[in-house]
């Protein structure tokens, strides 16, 4: 079946440093979504990318969808302690809503 892997599994940065997580799917995706899960919370939607090569920005967050629609990345510029949590990518295939989540990257930010 479809597999979605993320690297790194965990990253610890000091506040102000940049952070990037990479997402790779074993199959071509129709779209990709990104979610953030705070400790003890549930996943919260951040953004959806649909087009090949698409880049979207949300303040300090930059999301990119690969040309082959099999990979994606999330980059955070100048991290803050509020960025702490686990970031998941999740992909849809075909026309169905079969949302498959990646393995996640846990981000820890210290002062």
Partner 1 sequence: EAGVVQSPRYKIIEKKQPVAFWCNPISGHNTLYWYLQNLGQGPELLIRYENEEAVDDSQLPKDRFSAERLKGVDSTLKIQPAELGDSAVYLCASSRTQGEAFFGQGTRLTVV
- Shortest distance (Å) from residue 78 CB to partner 1: 26
Nearest 5°: phi and psi at 37? Answer: -125, 115
CA atoms of 90 and 108, how far apart (whole Å): 21
Contacts of the segment 45-54: beta carbons below 8 A, 24+ positions apart = 46/74
Convert 31-55 to b/e letters by CB count within 10 Å (16 or more is b): bbbbbbeeeeeebeebeebeeeebe
Structure tokens at 8: 């790194």
Choose between 44 and 78: whose C-beta lies nearer to partner 1.
Answer: 44
Binding residues for partner 1, rule: CB under 8 A, are 1, 4, 30-31, 33, 35, 42-45, 48, 88, 90, 92, 95-104, 106
Choose between 5 and 77: whose C-beta lies nearer to partner 1.
Answer: 5
CA atoms of 28 and 89, how far apart (whole Å): 14
Choose between 77 and 92: whose C-beta lies nearer to partner 1.
Answer: 92
- Shortest distance (Å) from residue 41 CB to partner 1: 8
- Shortest distance (Å) from residue 21 CB to partner 1: 12
- Shortest distance (Å) from residue 98 CB to partner 1: 6
Choose between 35 and 63: whose C-beta lies nearer to partner 1.
Answer: 35
């Amino acid at each position: 079946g479809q597999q979605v892997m993320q690297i790194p599994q965990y990253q610890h940065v000091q506040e102000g440093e940049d952070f990037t997580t990479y997402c790779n799917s074993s199959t071509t995706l129709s779209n990709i979504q990104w979610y953030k899960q705070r400790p003890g919370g549930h996943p919260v939607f951040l953004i959806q990318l649909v087009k090949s090569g698409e880049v979207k920005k949300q303040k300090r967050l930059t999301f990119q969808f690969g040309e082959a629609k099999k990979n994606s990345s999330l980059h955070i510029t100048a991290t803050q302690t509020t960025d702490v949590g686990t970031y998941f990518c999740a992909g849809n295939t075909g026309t169905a809503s079969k949302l498959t989540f990646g393995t996640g990257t846990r981000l820890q930010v210290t002062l």
